[in-house]
Amino acid sequence: MGANTRRSMRMTKKKNFSLLSHRAGAAFLAPAAALVGVFVLLPFFWVIFVSFTNRTLLGKTALSPDFVGLQNYFQLFDPATFFTRGQFGFSLILTTQFVLLSALVGQALLGLLLAWLMQTIPPALKRIVETAVIAAWILPEVVIGFAWFAFLDYDNGTLNMILRGLGLPAGDFLLQQPFWVIVIFNTWRGAAFSMMLFNSAFASIPPSYFQAADVAGASSWQKFRDIGLPLIRGHVVTDLILITMWTFNVFTPFILTNGGPSYRTELLSIYNYRIAFREFDFGKGAAVGVIIMLINLIFALIYLSFGRKKAKAVEE
Amino acid sequence: MRLSFPQLLARIGFSALAAIIGILFALPLIWFIFAPFNARAELGIAIPDPWTLQNFLTVFGNGFAMRGLLNSLIQSVGGVILVAAAATLAAYALSRSSIPGKSIVTYVLLLFSSVVSGTAAMVPIFLIVSSVGLMDTHIAVILVFAGGLLPTAMFILRDFIDGIPKTYEESAMVAGASPVQAFFDVALPVIRPGIVVVVVWAFVNIWGSFLIPFILLRSDDLMPSSVAIYSFYSEAGTPIVTLLAAYSLIYSLPVVALYLFVSWKFGFRFFGGIKA
């Protein structure tokens, strides 16, 4: 008993002993703190401040902007124009649909399907398929944008070549179905992340579970539904929150469509860019930024509280 | 183990499905295997006749394009050095000192770095950069990237350092080393694999990024490849396909090489969690 207490005391003492003094620790932290402070923390508060002004790039309001209260926000939420193409509400709804279809349905389901298929197919085929999926994810966005521009070209593009070869009608999809193009594009671009996350999740399940199911004669679908999916539930939630946040902020479709034709692919990030950096209405652009950041904040808080709960569960 | 007939059938079906999905993913990229080596490449897929390096020679002769690659290199290397150095120091301090509230700090930083991102962050960053007079400079691009990537880099490295026993540095200090010596001579060599991961991750992120240089730079001779690539469009907006194809391939090479390096050295799992 006595020895035990002494040992535990020694252990707590050891835990409290630190290699770096406070002063040395602060010096080590300083460069990172300065950079993050100026380029991450300060912008967060700055954008809130600017959103209450009528700041512009040129003219009188560039140097001495006026305080306009909530006017920028009233403009964004003006019911008369809210749902009009090229306005805030239209972009917000478009972005919601984009996230639902391309991230939650497209990337997550396709990633899950791919990860499950990877468990059973021959290793050589697995490598080839993985390479194709991951290539779509790691190549620089402008390269990907150009590849898709060529792929979708009406006269010579690979897609229309295949459609004509199959006797199907060709189409100028960037003009006719721009929204579905960016949905499929984003699914294609980002499925790799979900696939890899689910792949490592499935790999962490003890193989004996599946072997037992095999002995009982379970089908692949039964194994997926009754063993695979329930055991990776935590990973699914992590994946859904992360890809939602990334897709919500993604700017890459701009490279493919420029937000057009006639605002039909103008996601919130692209709308924000146009207001702030094409029309140079910084006040209104900042107000859009504040709303985007608030939505990000909600998702980030959900994610972090979920991660903490999981960490606690592991500790216990 | 012998497969029953339905199991065999299922396995063949799965392989076929996986192969089809793989082909669908590869389709938009197949064009890149041929077009760079075809002096008469168009937007359609065509086997080059003859295979030639002519397009690459034209790119190498284009000063603006080469300048773009150099600018990408300057910004990526500058950003990577800053991120790796600042993140290593900070992560070490968070792991090894007993500064109060350090776990809250990590938490809040991660929170903010995921909230302040994308176009929404560019409005205030543009105004901050222009108010300190750094508009249209390499240093602005480097600093903004460093600030944005640092929280995640610190998080990765802190995880890594927490996994290293303190006894390494303690024994060095028993032998008379100062804390700073213990860091540079004992801890740093052990942390190196973690730093490699952060370096690769930060490089790939900066090298491929379009939005930040697109907004913070104006002069043609500072533009990185991601923006300079648009010089291969004619005035009317139609692309000069042969050059674009060859340039895209050159510009993608470092990313592909680093990816192969990481997956060879660490396997897939590392790259899985750390992009974006």
The string of DSSP codes covering A133-190 is HHHHHHS-HHHHHHHHHHHT-TTT-HHHHHHHHTTPPP--HHHHSHHHHHHHHHHHHH
For the segment B45-64, the average pLDDT, to the nearest whole number, is: 82
Residue A256 has pLDDT above 60, yes or no: yes
pLDDT computed for residue B270 by the predictor: 43
pLDDT computed for residue B1 by the predictor: 52
* Lowest mean pLDDT segment, chosen from A18-32, B68-82, B187-201: A18-32
Instruction: Say yes or no for a CB contact (<8 Å) between A129 and B31.
Output: no
> Among partner residues B31, B154, B271, which is closest to A158 by beta-carbon distance?
B31
pLDDT-based confidence at residue A172 (cuts at 50, 70, 90) = confident
Residue linked to tokens 């620089």? A140
For the segment A177-199, the average pLDDT, to the nearest whole number, is: 91
What's the pLDDT tens digit per position in B3-46? Answer: 677 778 888 888 899 999 999 999 888 888 888 887 777 777 77
For the segment B209-233, the average pLDDT, to the nearest whole number, is: 88
Please give the torsion angle defined by the CA atoms of residues A131, A134, A140 and A144, in that order, rounded to the nearest 10 degrees. Answer: 80
CA A73, distance to chain mean position in Å, is 25
Residue B217 has pLDDT above 50, yes or no: yes
**Burial track B155-193 (b if 16+ CB lie within 10 A, e otherwise):** bbbbebbeeeebeebeebeeeebebeebbeebbeeebee
pTM reported for the whole predicted model = 0.86
Instruction: Say yes or no for a CB contact (<8 Å) between A40 and B148.
Output: yes
pLDDT-based confidence at residue B2 (cuts at 50, 70, 90) = low
Instruction: Say yes or no for a CB contact (<8 Å) between A19 and B169.
Output: yes
A209 shares contact with chain B (CB less than 8 Å): no
The residues, ordered by sequence, that sit 6+ positions from A264 with a Cβ below 8 Å of its Cβ are A85, A178, A179
pLDDT computed for residue B145 by the predictor: 93
For the segment B170-176, the average pLDDT, to the nearest whole number, is: 84
B70 shares contact with chain A (CB less than 8 Å): no
Please, what is the end-to-end C-alpha distance for chain B in angstroms?
42
pLDDT computed for residue A292 by the predictor: 92
Residue A280: closest CA among A95, A59, A84: A59
What's the pLDDT tens digit per position in A257-315? Answer: 888 788 888 999 999 999 988 888 888 889 999 999 999 898 888 887 876 666 665 55
For the segment B179-199, the average pLDDT, to the nearest whole number, is: 86
> Residues of A numbered 243-282 whose beta carbons fall under 8 angstroms of chain B's beta carbons: which are they?
245-246, 249-252, 255, 269-270, 272-273, 276-277, 282
Amino acid at A44: F
pLDDT computed for residue B235 by the predictor: 67
Segment (H or E) for A46? helix A42-50
Q: Are B36 and B218 in contact (CB under 8 A)?
A: no
Instruction: Say yes or no for a CB contact (<8 Å) between B128 and A38.
Output: yes
pLDDT computed for residue B267 by the predictor: 63
pLDDT computed for residue B240 by the predictor: 81
What is d(CA B96, CA B118) in angstroms, rounded to the nearest whole number? Answer: 33
Instruction: Say yes or no for a CB contact (<8 Å) between B256 and A138.
Output: yes
What is d(CA B100, CA A32) in angstroms, rounded to the nearest whole number? Answer: 17
What CA–CA distances, in Å, run from B162 to B93, B97, B194? 11, 12, 11
> Residues of B numbered 203-232 whose beta carbons fall under 8 angstroms of chain A's beta carbons: which are they?
204, 207-211, 215, 225-226, 229
State chain B's mean pLDDT as an integer.
Answer: 84
Instruction: Say yes or no for a CB contact (<8 Å) between A25 and B93.
Output: yes
Q: At B97, give phi and psi (nearest 5°).
A: -100, 170
Instruction: Say yes or no for a CB contact (<8 Å) between B15 and A32.
Output: no
What residues pair up with B239 in beta bridges, in sequence order? B233
> Residues of B numbered 8-67 whose beta carbons fall under 8 angstroms of chain A's beta carbons: which are they?
10-11, 14-15, 17-19, 21-23, 25-32, 35, 42-45
B109 shares contact with chain A (CB less than 8 Å): yes
The ipTM estimated for the assembled molecules is: 0.85
Sort out which chain A residues have CB atoms less than 8 A from B200's CB and list them. Answer: none
What's the pLDDT tens digit per position in A214-239? Answer: 888 888 888 888 888 888 888 888 88
**Domains (range + CATH), chain A:** 2-50 (no CATH), 78-315 (1.10.3720.10)
Sort out which chain A residues have CB atoms less than 8 A from B99's CB and list them. Answer: 22, 25-26, 29
A22 shares contact with chain B (CB less than 8 Å): yes
What is d(CA A23, CA A139) in angstroms, rounded to the nearest whole number? Answer: 43
Please give the torsion angle defined by the CA atoms of residues B247, B248, B253 and B259, in that order, rounded to the nearest 10 degrees. Answer: 170
pLDDT computed for residue A314 by the predictor: 52
Percent of chain A with pLDDT over 70: 91
What's the pLDDT tens digit per position in A59-78? Answer: 777 777 778 878 888 888 88
pLDDT-based confidence at residue B107 (cuts at 50, 70, 90) = confident
**Domains (range + CATH), chain B:** 5-52 (no CATH), 62-274 (1.10.3720.10)
Instruction: Say yes or no for a CB contact (<8 Å) between A296 and B117.
Output: yes
Sort out which chain B residues have CB atoms less than 8 A from A282's CB and list them. Answer: 123, 127
What's the pLDDT tens digit per position in A120-154? Answer: 888 888 889 988 998 888 899 999 988 898 888 88
Chain A interface test: which of B119, B127, B161, B264 (most A C-beta within 10 Å) = B119
- Of B236 and A137, the one with more pLDDT: A137
